[in-house]
Chain A
Amino acid sequence: MATQVKESTANAPGALSKEEILRYSRHLIMPEVGMDGQLKLKKAKVLLVGSGGLGAPLGLYLAAAGVGRLGLVDFDAVDFTNLQRQVTFGTSDVGRKKLEAARDRLSNLNPEIQIDTYETRLTSDNALDILREYDIVADGTDNFPTRYLVNDACVLLGKPNVYGSIFRFEGQASIFGYPGGPCYRCLYPEPPPPGVVPSCAEGGVLGVLPGIVGCIQAMETLKLILGSGDSLVGRLLLFDALRMRFRELKLRKNPECPVCGEHRTITKLIDYAEFCGIRGEEMEAKPLGVPEITPKELKTRLDRGDDLYILDVREPHEYQICNLHGHLIPLGDLPKRVNELDSSREIVAHCRSGKRSADAVQFLTNAGFHKIWNLKGGILAWSDEVDPSVPKY
């Protein structure tokens, strides 16, 4: 009899093959997963938005766990700065499309699953069509417009949105859009204005942090599929890696929420760039209305012995990475250290990319300095155009 039952299971549609039984044996021998749970995983369809730091552990663990269909949305290529945390990718992947590299890695990890890739930016025009095919969405994006887009699309479609977000040493995780539960807009009705919260590219992130937060998202995704345990629905988990402390806060459904409340005003996807205050002209580099000098011009003037004072407005830890032997005054300290500068000398201010030093030039101009220039493109441009031995970061 036992043999018959086994055979009939093996032959039933959606059953596990002998190879899959071996592969998932450490799940199958757990009563909390077992054959029923593993079949739920196999039937599950999960969409990962973003193949970056959070997407890496999400993709790897969900593929390894046997989630039957994984969708990946991204449009970037792998670069060297990704490798510190995006552990899906290897050095030989640099320059490749992230989705191609991720597909190779994940299908090598688990050839039993289906991987669908969407080489596109998620937009109001395509989000509903892409998300509709999946049971659960895991949000690993890095910007506010896409976060609100994913939230609203999930609420409109009734799909749970497994959320994770990070900044330097700190992470947040929760589940939004679960039927009856709160959504991202219940937590934060509006995004911060652009520029107020620094991105990871500006603020930096310890590589392990997205690993931990992405693993929490992966765990919550598996629990939703299995229907087991206490999920993060209604709770906001805060993680402080420096203090190695987890805290949790109550997350309530806002009855006045514009997308999931009783009197909702958002019933279709909107323009999220506009909602987040990012308009066309702000997306492009702001024309900086301060006098500039190009790296080549600066090099020429230094070579001919002009008496130029180089002011570096970056942080001391950046100075250690590379410098042009300038005088270091971090932008934030400039107001109280302005007396260190001589307004009768010609000054060239620089930072990494030219943004902070433009603010410095503006500040100093207002303070009465008139022989001052911003190094266009910063030390990055200096490395590109004058001295390639200066490392870029």
Chain B
Amino acid sequence: MGVKVMIPTPLRQYAGKRESVDLEAKTVAEALSSLTSQFGELKRHLYSDDGRLRSFVNVYVNDEDIRYLQKEKTALQQGDTISIVPSIAGGTE
């Protein structure tokens, strides 16, 4: 399935400064694996050492959090948008 992965500003420096990446994947796990094989540095920002998605990085398929779908096994449809949304704390004191 052709899907689009949206890269958030803080992680773009690890993804060749790209805002989004188009790729082929049947599940969220496949999409993220394809993404991190293209951009190796992203891996440690998305996954902890034990291989789990980091708890300050959320992944959405379209507007739904994958934690409330089938997590990384969530199936993808042609044209889906995957959003990676890490926590940011800035308020510029």
Contacts and interface: CB of A to CB of B under 8 A. Distances in A.
A and B held together in a complex: yes
Interface of A: 50-55, 74, 76, 85-86, 139-144, 147, 164-170, 172, 187-192, 196-200, 203, 205, 210, 236, 238, 240, 242-243, 247-252, 254, 332
A346 B86 CA distance: 41
Contacts of B93: 50-53, 74, 76, 141-142
27 contacts: A51-B93, A55-B91, A76-B93, A140-B91, A141-B91, A141-B93, A142-B90, A165-B88, A166-B88, A166-B90, A166-B91, A166-B92, A167-B9, A167-B88, A168-B9, A170-B88, A172-B85, A187-B87, A191-B56, A197-B10, A203-B90, A205-B92, A210-B91, A210-B92, A240-B9, A249-B63, A250-B68
B74 to A, nearest CB: 14
Contacts of A86: 92
A142 B67 CA distance: 27
A273 B93 CA distance: 18
Contacts, number: 113
B65 A249 contact: yes
Contacts of A76: 93
Nearest to A81: B92
A49 B15 CA distance: 34
A243 B9 CA distance: 12
A188 B87 CA distance: 7
Given A192-B54, A249-B65, A198 B87 contact: no
Interface string B43-75: 001000000001110101001110110000000
Nearest to A188: B87
Interface of B: 8-10, 13, 19, 45, 54-56, 58, 60, 63-65, 67-68, 83, 85-93
Contacts of A236: 85
Nearest to A53: B92
A172 B8 CA distance: 11
Closest 3 CB pairs of A and B: A53-B92, A52-B93, A190-B55
A249 B60 contact: yes
A166 to B, nearest CB: 5
Nearest to B55: A190
B8 A141 contact: no
A144 B92 contact: no
A126 to B, nearest CB: 18
